[in-house]
Structure 1
Amino acid sequence: MHRIFQEQPEILSPVFGVLGIAFPEKAAVYAIGTDVTEARPLARHIDTVLRIGPSDGEDFLLAVEAQERRDTKKESSWPYYISYLQAKYGLPVLLLVACRDRATTKWATGPFSCGTRGWIAQMSYPLVVGPDNLPVITDPRTAAEKPAMAVFSALAHANSPHIEAILDALGRALAGMDWNAAS
Protein backbone atom coordinates (compact mmCIF):
# COMPACT_ATOMS: atom_id res chain seq x y z
CA MET A 1 0.00 0.00 0.00
CA HIS A 2 2.88 2.41 0.51
CA ARG A 3 4.42 2.14 -2.98
CA ILE A 4 1.50 3.91 -4.61
CA PHE A 5 2.64 7.10 -2.88
CA GLN A 6 6.08 6.72 -4.51
CA GLU A 7 4.74 5.86 -7.94
CA GLN A 8 1.62 8.08 -8.01
CA PRO A 9 2.29 11.01 -5.65
CA GLU A 10 -0.70 12.92 -7.10
CA ILE A 11 -2.93 10.86 -4.77
CA LEU A 12 -1.43 12.69 -1.79
CA SER A 13 -3.78 15.64 -2.27
CA PRO A 14 -7.03 13.65 -2.11
CA VAL A 15 -5.70 11.43 0.68
CA PHE A 16 -4.78 14.46 2.77
CA GLY A 17 -8.24 15.87 1.92
CA VAL A 18 -9.87 12.79 3.44
CA LEU A 19 -7.88 13.54 6.61
CA GLY A 20 -9.00 17.16 6.59
CA ILE A 21 -5.51 18.51 5.88
CA ALA A 22 -4.73 20.81 2.96
CA PHE A 23 -1.91 19.49 0.78
CA PRO A 24 0.11 22.15 -1.07
CA GLU A 25 -1.17 22.65 -4.63
CA LYS A 26 2.31 23.06 -6.06
CA ALA A 27 4.66 20.59 -4.41
CA ALA A 28 7.62 18.64 -5.71
CA VAL A 29 7.57 15.11 -4.31
CA TYR A 30 10.70 12.97 -4.27
CA ALA A 31 11.18 9.51 -2.82
CA ILE A 32 14.20 9.41 -0.56
CA GLY A 33 16.04 6.54 1.09
CA THR A 34 13.95 4.54 3.52
CA ASP A 35 16.71 2.89 5.54
CA VAL A 36 16.80 4.54 8.96
CA THR A 37 19.54 2.32 10.30
CA GLU A 38 22.37 4.35 11.72
CA ALA A 39 25.45 2.94 9.99
CA ARG A 40 27.78 5.12 12.00
CA PRO A 41 26.89 5.19 15.67
CA LEU A 42 25.62 8.54 16.84
CA ALA A 43 26.38 9.11 20.52
CA ARG A 44 23.27 10.06 22.45
CA HIS A 45 23.20 10.08 26.23
CA ILE A 46 20.30 10.58 28.57
CA ASP A 47 21.44 12.00 31.89
CA THR A 48 19.56 9.39 33.97
CA VAL A 49 17.05 6.63 33.19
CA LEU A 50 15.10 4.97 35.98
CA ARG A 51 12.69 2.04 35.83
CA ILE A 52 9.84 2.70 38.24
CA GLY A 53 7.82 -0.27 39.50
CA PRO A 54 4.81 1.12 41.38
CA SER A 55 2.97 -1.29 43.69
CA ASP A 56 -0.36 -0.15 42.25
CA GLY A 57 0.25 -0.34 38.52
CA GLU A 58 2.49 -1.01 35.58
CA ASP A 59 6.19 -0.26 35.44
CA PHE A 60 7.36 2.79 33.52
CA LEU A 61 10.63 4.51 32.68
CA LEU A 62 11.61 7.96 33.84
CA ALA A 63 14.24 9.75 31.75
CA VAL A 64 15.77 12.64 33.69
CA GLU A 65 17.62 15.50 32.03
CA ALA A 66 19.38 18.39 33.80
CA GLN A 67 19.05 21.50 31.66
CA GLU A 68 21.12 24.60 32.37
CA ARG A 69 19.96 26.71 29.41
CA ARG A 70 17.74 26.66 26.35
CA ASP A 71 19.07 24.19 23.78
CA THR A 72 16.97 23.87 20.63
CA LYS A 73 18.67 20.52 19.82
CA LYS A 74 16.78 19.06 22.81
CA GLU A 75 13.49 19.80 21.05
CA SER A 76 14.25 16.84 18.76
CA SER A 77 16.52 14.73 21.00
CA TRP A 78 14.04 14.52 23.88
CA PRO A 79 11.28 12.97 21.69
CA TYR A 80 13.95 10.63 20.28
CA TYR A 81 14.91 9.51 23.80
CA ILE A 82 11.27 8.84 24.67
CA SER A 83 10.62 6.88 21.46
CA TYR A 84 13.87 4.93 21.71
CA LEU A 85 13.31 3.92 25.34
CA GLN A 86 9.71 2.92 24.66
CA ALA A 87 10.74 0.82 21.65
CA LYS A 88 13.67 -0.80 23.49
CA TYR A 89 11.94 -1.62 26.77
CA GLY A 90 8.27 -1.78 25.75
CA LEU A 91 7.29 0.45 28.67
CA PRO A 92 5.66 3.87 28.94
CA VAL A 93 8.21 6.69 29.28
CA LEU A 94 8.06 10.02 31.07
CA LEU A 95 10.65 12.78 30.69
CA LEU A 96 11.58 14.90 33.72
CA VAL A 97 13.68 18.02 33.12
CA ALA A 98 15.37 19.73 36.08
CA CYS A 99 16.28 23.41 35.62
CA ARG A 100 17.95 26.16 37.66
CA ASP A 101 16.43 29.27 36.14
CA ARG A 102 12.98 30.47 35.18
CA ALA A 103 13.69 31.09 31.50
CA THR A 104 14.99 27.56 30.96
CA THR A 105 12.12 26.13 32.99
CA LYS A 106 9.56 27.98 30.88
CA TRP A 107 11.17 26.86 27.62
CA ALA A 108 11.65 23.23 28.74
CA THR A 109 7.96 22.90 29.54
CA GLY A 110 7.29 22.83 25.79
CA PRO A 111 5.32 21.33 24.27
CA PHE A 112 7.63 20.28 21.46
CA SER A 113 5.94 19.17 18.28
CA CYS A 114 6.91 17.43 15.09
CA GLY A 115 4.58 18.13 12.22
CA THR A 116 3.67 20.56 9.51
CA ARG A 117 0.77 22.59 8.18
CA GLY A 118 -1.25 22.32 11.36
CA TRP A 119 -0.99 18.55 11.64
CA ILE A 120 1.03 17.14 14.52
CA ALA A 121 2.65 13.71 14.16
CA GLN A 122 4.27 13.71 17.58
CA MET A 123 4.06 15.96 20.63
CA SER A 124 6.28 15.90 23.72
CA TYR A 125 5.29 17.37 27.06
CA PRO A 126 8.20 17.13 29.51
CA LEU A 127 7.60 17.26 33.24
CA VAL A 128 9.70 20.20 34.42
CA VAL A 129 10.95 21.18 37.88
CA GLY A 130 12.79 24.37 38.66
CA PRO A 131 12.80 27.45 40.84
CA ASP A 132 9.13 28.21 40.15
CA ASN A 133 7.74 24.94 41.48
CA LEU A 134 10.39 23.58 43.87
CA PRO A 135 10.19 24.69 47.48
CA VAL A 136 12.78 27.00 48.98
CA ILE A 137 13.86 25.12 52.11
CA THR A 138 15.25 27.57 54.65
CA ASP A 139 14.10 25.80 57.82
CA PRO A 140 16.79 23.54 59.35
CA ARG A 141 14.15 21.19 60.79
CA THR A 142 12.57 20.67 57.37
CA ALA A 143 16.03 20.21 55.85
CA ALA A 144 16.85 17.58 58.51
CA GLU A 145 13.58 15.72 57.87
CA LYS A 146 14.06 15.80 54.08
CA PRO A 147 17.81 16.07 53.43
CA ALA A 148 17.66 14.92 49.80
CA MET A 149 14.94 17.47 49.02
CA ALA A 150 16.94 20.16 50.83
CA VAL A 151 19.98 19.41 48.67
CA PHE A 152 17.81 19.44 45.53
CA SER A 153 16.30 22.76 46.65
CA ALA A 154 19.80 24.20 47.00
CA LEU A 155 20.72 22.98 43.50
CA ALA A 156 17.53 24.30 41.91
CA HIS A 157 17.76 27.65 43.68
CA ALA A 158 21.52 28.12 43.23
CA ASN A 159 20.88 31.43 41.45
CA SER A 160 18.22 32.56 43.91
CA PRO A 161 18.62 35.47 46.32
CA HIS A 162 17.62 32.93 49.03
CA ILE A 163 20.62 30.65 48.39
CA GLU A 164 22.46 31.71 51.57
CA ALA A 165 19.44 30.89 53.75
CA ILE A 166 18.95 27.58 51.93
CA LEU A 167 22.60 26.61 52.41
CA ASP A 168 22.54 27.71 56.04
CA ALA A 169 19.50 25.50 56.75
CA LEU A 170 21.11 22.61 54.89
CA GLY A 171 24.40 23.05 56.78
CA ARG A 172 22.63 23.12 60.15
CA ALA A 173 20.61 20.03 59.23
CA LEU A 174 23.67 18.09 58.10
CA ALA A 175 25.65 19.13 61.19
CA GLY A 176 22.92 17.76 63.43
CA MET A 177 22.58 14.40 61.67
CA ASP A 178 23.60 11.12 63.28
CA TRP A 179 25.75 9.70 60.48
CA ASN A 180 26.11 6.29 62.17
CA ALA A 181 22.34 5.89 62.21
CA ALA A 182 22.12 6.91 58.56
CA SER A 183 24.44 4.12 57.41
Structure 2
Amino acid sequence: MPTTEHEMPLEFLRNRPELAALLLERSFGICVPDYDETHLASGDCTDNQPREYRPDGVVVLRNAGVDRLAVVTEVQRRTDERKRYTWPVYLATLRSRLECPAVLLVMCPDPATAKWAGQPIDMGHPNWHLVPLVLGEDRTPVVTSVEEAVAVPELAILSALAHGGEDMRTIVACAEALYSVPKELFKLYYDFVATALSGAARRNWDELMRTTESYQSEFARKYVGIGEAKGEARGEAKGLVKGRVEGEATAVLRVLQSRGIPVPEEARERISSCTDLDRLDAWLDRAALVDSVDELFR
Protein backbone atom coordinates (compact mmCIF):
# COMPACT_ATOMS: atom_id res chain seq x y z
CA MET A 1 0.00 0.00 0.00
CA PRO A 2 1.50 3.39 -1.00
CA THR A 3 2.42 5.74 1.84
CA THR A 4 1.06 9.24 2.38
CA GLU A 5 4.46 10.70 1.45
CA HIS A 6 4.22 8.92 -1.90
CA GLU A 7 0.59 9.70 -2.64
CA MET A 8 0.27 13.37 -1.62
CA PRO A 9 2.47 14.88 -4.38
CA LEU A 10 0.33 12.92 -6.84
CA GLU A 11 -2.81 14.23 -5.14
CA PHE A 12 -1.46 17.75 -5.68
CA LEU A 13 -1.19 17.02 -9.42
CA ARG A 14 -4.64 15.46 -9.52
CA ASN A 15 -6.14 18.55 -7.89
CA ARG A 16 -4.06 20.99 -9.95
CA PRO A 17 -2.66 19.41 -13.17
CA GLU A 18 -1.11 22.70 -14.29
CA LEU A 19 1.38 22.27 -11.42
CA ALA A 20 3.32 19.92 -13.72
CA ALA A 21 3.85 22.71 -16.27
CA LEU A 22 4.86 25.17 -13.53
CA LEU A 23 7.51 22.77 -12.20
CA LEU A 24 8.93 22.14 -15.68
CA GLU A 25 9.23 25.88 -16.32
CA ARG A 26 10.47 27.06 -12.94
CA SER A 27 12.61 24.12 -11.86
CA PHE A 28 14.15 23.06 -15.17
CA GLY A 29 13.78 26.08 -17.47
CA ILE A 30 11.81 24.04 -20.00
CA CYS A 31 9.73 26.09 -22.41
CA VAL A 32 6.44 24.19 -22.44
CA PRO A 33 4.19 24.57 -25.49
CA ASP A 34 1.28 26.98 -25.39
CA TYR A 35 -1.72 25.31 -23.78
CA ASP A 36 -5.24 26.26 -22.83
CA GLU A 37 -6.13 23.08 -20.96
CA THR A 38 -4.53 20.52 -18.67
CA HIS A 39 -5.98 17.17 -17.80
CA LEU A 40 -5.01 13.84 -16.31
CA ALA A 41 -4.53 10.98 -18.73
CA SER A 42 -4.53 7.25 -18.30
CA GLY A 43 -1.16 5.93 -17.21
CA ASP A 44 -1.77 2.55 -18.83
CA CYS A 45 1.45 1.60 -20.61
CA THR A 46 0.68 -2.10 -20.98
CA ASP A 47 2.17 -3.69 -24.10
CA ASN A 48 1.24 -6.96 -25.77
CA GLN A 49 3.16 -8.89 -23.14
CA PRO A 50 1.39 -10.00 -19.95
CA ARG A 51 3.48 -7.57 -17.88
CA GLU A 52 1.78 -4.28 -16.97
CA TYR A 53 3.54 -0.91 -16.97
CA ARG A 54 1.87 1.97 -15.18
CA PRO A 55 3.50 5.24 -14.03
CA ASP A 56 2.32 7.07 -10.92
CA GLY A 57 0.61 9.77 -12.96
CA VAL A 58 0.33 11.46 -16.35
CA VAL A 59 -0.56 15.10 -17.03
CA VAL A 60 -1.27 16.21 -20.60
CA LEU A 61 -1.05 19.81 -21.81
CA ARG A 62 -3.49 20.54 -24.62
CA ASN A 63 -4.09 23.45 -26.95
CA ALA A 64 -7.18 23.77 -29.14
CA GLY A 65 -8.07 20.20 -28.30
CA VAL A 66 -4.71 18.80 -29.46
CA ASP A 67 -2.27 17.03 -27.10
CA ARG A 68 0.97 19.05 -26.99
CA LEU A 69 3.00 17.53 -24.17
CA ALA A 70 2.67 14.53 -21.87
CA VAL A 71 4.33 14.77 -18.44
CA VAL A 72 4.96 11.38 -16.84
CA THR A 73 5.18 11.92 -13.07
CA GLU A 74 6.83 9.53 -10.66
CA VAL A 75 7.35 9.87 -6.89
CA GLN A 76 10.54 8.06 -5.92
CA ARG A 77 11.44 7.78 -2.25
CA ARG A 78 14.23 5.20 -2.52
CA THR A 79 16.51 3.72 -5.18
CA ASP A 80 15.03 1.02 -7.37
CA GLU A 81 17.13 -0.18 -10.30
CA ARG A 82 14.06 -1.61 -12.04
CA LYS A 83 12.86 1.94 -12.67
CA ARG A 84 15.77 2.51 -15.04
CA TYR A 85 14.13 -0.02 -17.34
CA THR A 86 10.47 0.92 -16.84
CA TRP A 87 10.80 4.72 -17.07
CA PRO A 88 11.80 4.64 -20.76
CA VAL A 89 8.83 2.34 -21.42
CA TYR A 90 6.43 4.92 -19.96
CA LEU A 91 7.74 7.68 -22.20
CA ALA A 92 7.90 5.65 -25.39
CA THR A 93 4.44 4.12 -24.93
CA LEU A 94 2.70 7.39 -24.11
CA ARG A 95 4.52 9.24 -26.89
CA SER A 96 3.25 6.62 -29.34
CA ARG A 97 -0.29 6.54 -27.95
CA LEU A 98 -0.82 10.31 -27.67
CA GLU A 99 1.39 11.23 -30.66
CA CYS A 100 3.05 14.12 -28.85
CA PRO A 101 6.35 14.74 -27.00
CA ALA A 102 6.70 13.22 -23.53
CA VAL A 103 8.94 14.12 -20.58
CA LEU A 104 9.70 12.32 -17.31
CA LEU A 105 9.36 14.27 -14.03
CA VAL A 106 10.62 12.37 -10.97
CA MET A 107 9.85 13.87 -7.55
CA CYS A 108 12.42 12.85 -4.91
CA PRO A 109 12.29 14.25 -1.36
CA ASP A 110 15.44 12.34 -0.39
CA PRO A 111 18.71 13.93 -1.68
CA ALA A 112 20.51 10.60 -2.15
CA THR A 113 17.58 9.19 -4.13
CA ALA A 114 17.43 12.36 -6.21
CA LYS A 115 21.11 12.01 -7.11
CA TRP A 116 20.58 8.40 -8.15
CA ALA A 117 17.44 9.17 -10.16
CA GLY A 118 19.16 11.94 -12.13
CA GLN A 119 21.82 9.67 -13.61
CA PRO A 120 21.52 9.24 -17.40
CA ILE A 121 19.94 5.97 -18.53
CA ASP A 122 21.93 4.39 -21.36
CA MET A 123 19.42 3.01 -23.85
CA GLY A 124 22.03 1.02 -25.74
CA HIS A 125 21.50 2.81 -29.04
CA PRO A 126 24.41 5.16 -29.93
CA ASN A 127 24.01 8.65 -28.49
CA TRP A 128 20.67 7.81 -26.90
CA HIS A 129 20.48 8.56 -23.19
CA LEU A 130 17.42 9.37 -21.11
CA VAL A 131 18.16 11.95 -18.41
CA PRO A 132 15.18 12.15 -16.00
CA LEU A 133 14.06 15.57 -14.79
CA VAL A 134 14.46 15.15 -11.03
CA LEU A 135 12.67 17.48 -8.63
CA GLY A 136 14.75 17.33 -5.46
CA GLU A 137 15.13 19.91 -2.71
CA ASP A 138 17.55 22.00 -4.79
CA ARG A 139 15.15 22.19 -7.74
CA THR A 140 11.97 22.89 -5.80
CA PRO A 141 10.89 26.54 -6.26
CA VAL A 142 11.16 28.78 -3.20
CA VAL A 143 7.74 30.29 -2.51
CA THR A 144 7.81 33.17 -0.01
CA SER A 145 5.08 35.39 -1.45
CA VAL A 146 1.70 34.96 0.19
CA GLU A 147 0.01 35.89 -3.09
CA GLU A 148 1.83 33.15 -4.97
CA ALA A 149 1.22 30.64 -2.18
CA VAL A 150 -2.51 31.30 -2.21
CA ALA A 151 -2.59 31.09 -6.01
CA VAL A 152 -0.91 27.64 -6.06
CA PRO A 153 -1.14 26.12 -2.54
CA GLU A 154 0.32 22.78 -3.67
CA LEU A 155 3.52 24.49 -4.82
CA ALA A 156 3.73 26.37 -1.50
CA ILE A 157 3.52 23.07 0.39
CA LEU A 158 6.30 21.51 -1.67
CA SER A 159 8.38 24.65 -1.10
CA ALA A 160 7.93 24.51 2.69
CA LEU A 161 8.88 20.83 2.79
CA ALA A 162 12.07 21.52 0.83
CA HIS A 163 13.15 24.90 2.23
CA GLY A 164 11.24 25.38 5.50
CA GLY A 165 14.31 24.63 7.59
CA GLU A 166 16.34 27.47 6.07
CA ASP A 167 13.69 30.04 5.16
CA MET A 168 10.92 30.76 7.66
CA ARG A 169 9.06 32.75 4.99
CA THR A 170 8.24 29.52 3.15
CA ILE A 171 6.60 28.19 6.32
CA VAL A 172 4.49 31.33 6.68
CA ALA A 173 3.53 31.17 2.99
CA CYS A 174 2.57 27.51 3.41
CA ALA A 175 0.35 28.35 6.40
CA GLU A 176 -1.42 31.07 4.43
CA ALA A 177 -1.84 28.70 1.49
CA LEU A 178 -3.39 26.04 3.71
CA TYR A 179 -5.87 28.48 5.14
CA SER A 180 -6.93 29.48 1.62
CA VAL A 181 -7.80 26.01 0.29
CA PRO A 182 -11.39 24.73 0.28
CA LYS A 183 -12.56 23.01 3.43
CA GLU A 184 -12.70 19.60 1.73
CA LEU A 185 -8.95 19.83 0.97
CA PHE A 186 -7.81 21.59 4.14
CA LYS A 187 -7.73 18.58 6.47
CA LEU A 188 -6.02 16.40 3.84
CA TYR A 189 -3.33 18.97 3.12
CA TYR A 190 -2.88 20.02 6.75
CA ASP A 191 -2.43 16.44 7.96
CA PHE A 192 0.19 15.87 5.27
CA VAL A 193 2.16 18.99 6.21
CA ALA A 194 1.96 18.17 9.93
CA THR A 195 3.38 14.67 9.38
CA ALA A 196 5.79 15.29 6.47
CA LEU A 197 7.72 18.24 7.92
CA SER A 198 10.83 17.18 9.80
CA GLY A 199 13.98 18.58 11.37
CA ALA A 200 14.39 22.35 11.34
CA ALA A 201 11.35 22.81 9.09
CA ARG A 202 9.17 21.02 11.62
CA ARG A 203 10.56 23.14 14.45
CA ASN A 204 9.86 26.33 12.48
CA TRP A 205 6.31 25.15 11.83
CA ASP A 206 5.71 24.34 15.49
CA GLU A 207 7.17 27.71 16.50
CA LEU A 208 4.81 29.50 14.11
CA MET A 209 1.82 27.61 15.47
CA ARG A 210 2.88 28.18 19.05
CA THR A 211 3.63 31.89 18.85
CA THR A 212 0.93 33.04 16.43
CA GLU A 213 -2.44 32.74 18.11
CA SER A 214 -4.35 33.66 14.97
CA TYR A 215 -3.06 30.60 13.13
CA GLN A 216 -3.93 28.31 16.02
CA SER A 217 -7.40 29.77 16.31
CA GLU A 218 -8.30 29.96 12.62
CA PHE A 219 -6.75 26.59 11.74
CA ALA A 220 -8.59 24.99 14.63
CA ARG A 221 -11.90 26.47 13.45
CA LYS A 222 -11.36 25.09 9.97
CA TYR A 223 -10.05 21.73 11.16
CA VAL A 224 -12.77 20.90 13.64
CA GLY A 225 -15.49 22.59 11.54
CA ILE A 226 -16.88 25.07 14.05
CA GLY A 227 -17.04 27.86 11.45
CA GLU A 228 -17.35 31.36 12.85
CA ALA A 229 -18.46 30.27 16.30
CA LYS A 230 -16.51 32.06 18.99
CA GLY A 231 -14.62 30.17 21.62
CA GLU A 232 -11.48 30.06 23.64
CA ALA A 233 -8.39 29.90 21.44
CA ARG A 234 -6.86 27.41 23.82
CA GLY A 235 -9.76 25.01 23.43
CA GLU A 236 -9.60 25.33 19.65
CA ALA A 237 -5.87 24.69 19.68
CA LYS A 238 -6.51 21.50 21.63
CA GLY A 239 -8.85 20.39 18.88
CA LEU A 240 -6.11 21.04 16.34
CA VAL A 241 -3.53 19.09 18.33
CA LYS A 242 -6.03 16.24 18.70
CA GLY A 243 -6.36 16.13 14.94
CA ARG A 244 -2.60 16.02 14.48
CA VAL A 245 -2.30 13.20 17.01
CA GLU A 246 -4.97 11.17 15.26
CA GLY A 247 -3.37 11.83 11.88
CA GLU A 248 0.06 10.65 12.99
CA ALA A 249 -1.34 7.53 14.68
CA THR A 250 -3.18 6.68 11.47
CA ALA A 251 0.02 7.24 9.47
CA VAL A 252 1.96 4.80 11.70
CA LEU A 253 -0.69 2.11 11.18
CA ARG A 254 -0.78 2.73 7.43
CA VAL A 255 2.98 2.36 7.05
CA LEU A 256 2.96 -0.89 9.01
CA GLN A 257 0.06 -2.17 6.92
CA SER A 258 1.74 -1.21 3.64
CA ARG A 259 4.83 -3.19 4.67
CA GLY A 260 2.76 -6.25 5.56
CA ILE A 261 3.64 -6.16 9.26
CA PRO A 262 0.90 -7.76 11.42
CA VAL A 263 -0.55 -5.40 14.04
CA PRO A 264 -2.37 -7.21 16.88
CA GLU A 265 -5.42 -5.49 18.33
CA GLU A 266 -3.59 -4.63 21.55
CA ALA A 267 -0.78 -2.92 19.61
CA ARG A 268 -3.29 -1.12 17.37
CA GLU A 269 -5.05 0.24 20.44
CA ARG A 270 -1.74 1.36 21.96
CA ILE A 271 -0.85 3.32 18.82
CA SER A 272 -4.34 4.78 18.33
CA SER A 273 -4.65 5.93 21.94
CA CYS A 274 -1.18 7.52 22.17
CA THR A 275 -1.35 11.30 22.68
CA ASP A 276 2.41 11.99 22.80
CA LEU A 277 3.35 13.64 19.49
CA ASP A 278 7.08 13.08 20.02
CA ARG A 279 6.52 9.38 20.59
CA LEU A 280 4.26 9.13 17.54
CA ASP A 281 6.93 10.91 15.48
CA ALA A 282 9.51 8.35 16.60
CA TRP A 283 7.16 5.46 15.83
CA LEU A 284 6.42 6.89 12.37
CA ASP A 285 10.15 7.11 11.57
CA ARG A 286 10.76 3.56 12.79
CA ALA A 287 7.69 2.06 11.12
CA ALA A 288 9.51 2.14 7.78
CA LEU A 289 12.45 0.16 9.16
CA VAL A 290 11.27 -2.40 11.72
CA ASP A 291 10.28 -5.99 11.00
CA SER A 292 7.70 -6.32 13.78
CA VAL A 293 5.51 -4.28 16.09
CA ASP A 294 7.62 -5.40 19.05
CA GLU A 295 10.65 -3.71 17.45
CA LEU A 296 8.60 -0.56 16.93
CA PHE A 297 7.84 -0.28 20.64
CA ARG A 298 11.37 -1.16 21.73
Q: 2:73: which partner in 1?
A: 64
Q: TM-score, normalised by structure 1?
A: 0.60
Matched-pair contact (CA < 8 Å) for 2:60–2:67: no
Structure number having the greater strand percentage? 1
2:107 to 90, 98, 113: 98
| Change over 3 Å in CA distance of 1:178–1:131 after alignment to 2 | closer
What is the RMSD computed on CA atoms of the aligned residues?
3.1
Relative CO higher for 1 or 2, CA cutoff 8 Å, sep ≥ 6?
Answer: 1
Task: Measure how far apart 1:88 and its partner are.
Answer: 2.1
Q: TM-score, normalised by structure 2?
A: 0.39
In the aligned structure 2, how far is the partner of 1:109 from the partner of 1:54?
30
In the aligned structure 2, how far is the partner of 1:44 from the partner of 1:129?
22
Tell which structure's C-alpha radius of gyration is larger.
1
Q: 1:130: which partner in 2?
A: 136
Structure 1 gaps of 5+ residues are 1-35
Matched-pair contact (CA < 8 Å) for 2:67–2:98: no
Task: Measure how far apart 1:95 and its partner are.
Answer: 0.8
Task: Measure how far apart 1:98 and its partner are.
Answer: 1.0
Query: How many residues align structurally?
Result: 136
* Other structure's SS at 1:132 match: helix
**Aligned: 1:154 with 2:160:** yes
* Other structure's SS at 2:59 match: strand
**Aligned: 1:42 with 2:46:** no
CA deviation string 1:5-63 (max 9, x = no partner): xxxxxxxxxxxxxxxxxxxxxxxxxxxxxxx941xx213221111221247x9612111
| Change over 3 Å in CA distance of 1:37–1:54 after alignment to 2 | closer
Identical-residue share of aligned pairs (%) = 31
Structure number having the greater helix percentage? 2
Alignment of 1:1-183 (within 5 A): 37-38=48-49, 41-54=50-63, 59-115=68-124, 120=126, 122-137=128-143, 140=146, 142-155=148-161, 157=162, 161-162=165-166, 166-175=170-179, 177=180, 179=182
Task: Measure how far apart 1:80 and its partner are.
Answer: 0.9
